[in-house]
Structure 1
Amino acid sequence: MATLAFLGAAQQVTGSCYLIETGEHRLLLECGIRQGTDRRDDEDEQPFSFDPRTIDSVIISHTHLDHSGMVPLLVKSGYDGPVYTTSATRDLLPIMYRDAASLILSDYERKNRRLLRAGKEPETPPYDMEDVEQALQLIVGINYGIKQQVCPEIQLRFRDAGHVLGSAIVELWIAAEEGNRKLVFSGDLGNDCAPLLSDPEVIAEADILLLESTYGERNHRPLSETLEEFKKVIETAANKGGNILIPSFAVGRTQDLIYWLGQLKREGGLDSHTVYIDSPMAIKVSDVYSRHQSLFNDDDPDFRQFIKQGWDRWLPGLVYTPTPEESMELNTLNDGAIIIAGSGMCTGGRILHHLKHNLWLPNTHVVIVGYQAQGTLGRALVDGISQVKIYGEEISVKAKIHTLGGFSAHAGQDQLIRWASNFQPKRPHLFLIHGEPEAMDVLQQRLIQDYQWDAYIPSLGEVITL
């Protein structure tokens, strides 16, 4: 009997993880970290609800850590099989994993210094750089559209999801005693306004569909309105002084921002500002994007010609600040800086230092350009918090906070439904995953009322028969 267990991102957004068992074999679909309030109280002691040594294969849809970030810990815990992903994701994961490990080790060094001063025993990091390098040896890159046998009873094919470079919709053909079943996992579906990547590929057949619902309760603002608001923020900062801080994901969002800022530069909208990419990881990721231009859409052929010589050719005056010293120098700037830094949800990284130095200034603008999970600093800023603690210091929030939803790399409600409606003439059994409960409920009701499609919302840990 083949079964599917919802072990993560079930009535949650982060921590994607689904276990497929066919009787003889076990396949793990996604292995992501939990962020914000999605984290379990016992997660550090019991990161997995299964024995990693019993898993035969792992499939990762894309590079974002809430889908892939637990793989090094899985390997440390005994997993030694293949990790299947797309070829572009294979090139991005070394950057993501090494950066994540570096941050974890730095955090534990600081934490252990405090523990030792308090007379307590130091703690061991969950994994180290050696575990990362071992995990990277297991990654198998597969191009879009190629079928691959990943278990004796399971075949895999990746399709372009249009979310970030290398992101995939996952098709699985599962052989079981009850008969063959085709499972489609949407992964994270891209916003069809994305400037660089193609729209999500259309799929028409499935028996079971796992559909993400990050923005299941609403549509994004039109891109034209978002760009207009972005221009006004830049104009206001130019007229009144102050810096613009943009917390941004290193994969996808930073590259989109460089594109849009390059467009604004050509229109004369950036004459008073210098753009800084203050993220070593984003700088490396941009280089991978440049090497995979065959995956870009054809909407702006001039763009491809420019970035063959470097992203700064598209956005003249673009400044990279890879070293800690260069990053710290940015805190001496009083105005005229647009600083793009990670992490995208303000949970770590260099953006925290810039927020610490700028949040209390009323002429600072913080531009939120991506999803902010519950329990993160980014979400607190969006919700209007007036006081935050950064590195142990209380900071008053006087800066102006702007949320620009049109830049999202996720599909909105209408886009999700439009993509799912391609499954014709037979509708698959539909399960909503990867969303907050409120978003799932709204999407479920619309599917029932407008399309007579009964979508099921699984609970965390629930197991279904395929």
Structure 2
Amino acid sequence: MRVRFHGAAGEVTGSLHEVEAAGRRLLLDCGMIQGSPEAERRNLDPFPFEPGGLDALVISHAHIDHVGRVPLLVRRGFRGPIYAQRATAELMPVMLLDAASIAQGEAERANRHRRGGEPPAQPLYTAEDVHAAMAQVRPLPYDARTEAVPGVEIAFRDAGHILGSSSVELWAEGRKLAFSGDLGPAGTPILRDPARIDRADLVLMESTYGDRLHRDRGETIRELGGILARAWEEGGTVLIPAFAVGRSQELLYWFARHWDEWGLARWRIFLDSPMATQVTAIYDRHADLFDADAQRVWRDRPHPFRLPNLHFTESRGDSMAINRIERGAIVIAGSGMANAGRILHHLRHRLERRETHVVFVGYQAEGTLGRRLVDGARWVRIHGRDVRAAAQRHTVGGLSAHTDQRGLLDWYGAIAGHPPLALVHGEDRAREALAGEIGERFGVRAVLARPGTVLEV
């Protein structure tokens, strides 16, 4: 069995790992590269393999940095099955159609400013490409060992990161590969804790937060409640850039759980994301995957997805109408890194106001607007306009959907014999810190995968 690394090898996004076994070639994930405009232009590059020569694609979960180039892979010749956990299979078209829409809009804007002689900009892929890709998807439940292609079997295990997120076990040639996917922290609201892998001959493990420990979740939630109280006292509005899958639903969970304590009945709450609205409906249909705490909240509190003052804004006009509200609005909108989507519209309108509170509740990649704001930028450019960043900014790190260094060490430590390990999905600082801890604790020298790195087992 041979693993060749192509993406998310030295960076967080662009998951793309190739496995050769039993005379077959499979991909683990086919994600979009996210970050600066320069980084995102790499999505258009040719794949470092022939798509038509692949036998199957296995998806760990539906975040766009793990599935965002699947339609492009199909358009360029991939014709094999695409395996995904059942909830992931439902989330994928929502995520990919949104990505196609964003790409189409960006191409149209670029062409409006195109200079003579320049070739017209083309979107990365279209809605038609998404539909073609989805025709190849084969949904699977958790914990079902399945023959993906002759000689290769796979199984999905709950990774506790977002709905449907999976660690992947792959068996071939008498060997077993374990790919962590993105691992969620133990005790994450709504979701079950990550399943443990009993044994493996080679492990690929994410390392997004390999260099840090998250704050206690209880402290984080108290901080969030304090931000809302302060914003109300100052007569302001709260803007929360949030990923449509996972983070938006978790925020609504906490709002329901602390409905009385935080005085949320006095606010107007907006989920300003058609994609997040669709995702929330999918979460609602998969309550069987929720943990026991979530089941109790659904039963004993205002339903998180049906709060009496929660507004799902579908149209662009409804979104723009939020700007007429001077105070008392909580706006959850994508994208989570503030590099696209409706949150840009709200930031452009309100970022200059001191009474605006911008709350970052997820990872902010290098080169994104969210990262620049977190790092304290005083001026930013939004939709071609320079905007003074006077709003108060808060980074609420304890809500991460990724586990921290302790969680990664615990997950790997539960695998019998502490097998060879490659670290992916992390910037070098995080990977180096995690590799040091792994070496000290388990006596294993972790490989820091780079594009082109090859491991055999």
TM-score (norm 1): 0.95
Instruction: Report the alpha carbon displacement of residue 129 of structure 1 after superposing the two structures with TM.
Output: 1.3
Question: Could you tell me which residue of structure 1 aligns to residue 235 of structure 2?
Answer: 241
Task: Kindly state the Cα deviation for residue 304 of structure 1 after the two structures are TM-superposed.
Answer: 3.2
* SS of aligned partner of 2:106: helix
Match of 1:403 in 2: 395
- Where structure 1 has 5 or more consecutive residues not aligned to the other structure, the ranges are none
For 1:139, the equivalent position in structure 2 comes to 137
Q: How does 1:220-299 map to 2 (within 5 A)?
A: 220-299=214-293
SS at match of 2:147: strand
Shift of 1:85: 0.5
What secondary structure sits across from 1:367 in the alignment?
Answer: strand
Is 1:354 equivalent to 2:352 in the alignment? Answer: no
Deviation at 1:80, TM superposition (A): 1.2
Structure 2: distance between partners of 1:39 and 1:18: 22
- Displacement of 1:423 in angstroms is 1.0
Cα offset, 1:30, TM superposition: 0.6
Residues 356-382 of structure 1 deviation map (CA, whole Å, 9 limit, x = unaligned):
011111111000000111111111111
Partner of 1:457: 448
Give 1:186 deviation, angstroms.
0.3
Q: Secondary structure of 1:266's match?
A: coil
State which of 318, 323, 333 in structure 1 corresponds to 2:310. 318
User: For 1:105-184, what aligned pairs fall within 5 Å after superposition?
Assistant: 105-115=104-114, 120-175=118-173, 180-184=174-178
What is the identity, as a one-letter code, of the residue corresponding to 1:78? G
User: Matched residue pairs, number?
Assistant: 457
Which residue in 2 is equivalent to 1:80?
79
- CA deviation digits over 1:184-212, x for unaligned, max 9? 00000011131100000011100101111
1:63 and 2:62 matched: yes
Structural mapping, 1:296-311, within 5 Å = 296-305=290-299, 311=304
Percent identity between the aligned chains? 44
| 2:67 is the counterpart of 1:31 | no
Amino acid at match of 1:191: P
Structure 2 Cα separation of the partners of residues 209 and 160 of structure 1: 16
Q: Does 1:335 align with 2:327?
A: yes
Distance in 2, Cα, partners of 1:332 & 1:398:
19
What CA RMSD, in Å, does the superposition of the two structures yield over aligned residues? 1.7
2:433 aligned with 1:439: no
- Structure 1 stretch 258-267 or stretch 220-229: which is displaced more? 258-267
**Alpha carbons 1:273, 1:337 under 8 Å: kept:** yes
Q: Could you tell me which amino acid in structure 1 is paired with residue 98 of structure 2?
A: D
Residue aligning to 1:91: 90
Q: Which amino acid aligns with 1:292?
A: H
SS at the partner of 1:115?
A: coil
TM-score between both structures, scaled by the size of structure 2? 0.96
SS of residue paired to 1:384: coil
Q: Secondary structure, in 3 states, of the residue corresponding to 2:320?
A: helix
Q: How far does residue 42 in structure 1 lie from its aligned partner after superposition? A: 6.7
Structure 2's unaligned 5+ residue stretches are none
Question: Structure 1: which amino acid aligns with 2:297?
Answer: F
Closer, same or farther: CA 460–384 of 1 in aligned 2, 3 Å: same
Cα drift, residue 432 of structure 1: 0.9
Match of 2:196 in 1: 202
- Checking the alignment, whether the CA contact within 8 Å between 1:293 and 1:304 is kept in structure 2 is no
1:239 Cα deviation from its structure 2 partner: 0.6
Once the two structures are TM-superposed, the CA of residue 3 in structure 1 deviates from its matched residue by 1.5
1:294 maps to amino acid? D
Cα distance change, pair 33–412 in 1 and its aligned pair in 2 (3 A) = same
Compute the displacement of 1:255 (Å): 0.3
Matched, 1:365 2:364: no
